[in-house]
A = this chain, B = another copy of it.
Amino acid sequence: MFPCYTPEPPYYAVIFPSTRSGQDPEYQVMAAKMESLAALQPGFLGIESVRNESGDGLTVSYWETEDAIHSWQKHPEHKKAQAAGIALWYDDYSIRIAKVERAYKKRGSIAESAS
């Protein structure tokens, strides 16, 4: 589902823009595997991921807590994927950890935090 469903804030987002360095078909397999595995982790709320033909990609995953993000970052399978990403797949990337404070949707109710 795109945009993904998320509960009312507050919750956390991991914002991950990246540029691909090539067309390694193993990348697609690993990326799909990591999305499936992330979805099984405690505290996972959802993920939105888009990559265009130029190789620019933007992935935002949503999590209940910062601890859930830390646990996923330290997951053994995810660590392997991270190492391959750094060594082989990404020309460049950033990771930003952000606390979602307010959220609106086109359809349905406006979800807004108290703060």
Chain A interface (Cβ within 8 Å of chain B)?
A: 2-4, 6, 9, 13, 15, 17-19, 48-53, 56-60, 86, 90, 92-107
A105 to B58, CA, bound (A): 14
* Copies of this chain, count: 2
Is the contact region of chain A dominated by helix, strand, or loop, or is it mixed? strand
Minimum Cβ distance to chain B for residue A54 (Å): 9
Minimum Cβ distance to chain B for residue A78 (Å): 15
In the complex, the answer to whether A94 meets B56 with C-beta atoms within 8 Å is no
A51 to B86, CA, bound (A): 24
Minimum Cβ distance to chain B for residue A96 (Å): 5
Question: Residue of B at shortest CB range from A59?
Answer: B58
Partner of A96, one of B49, B56, B102: B102
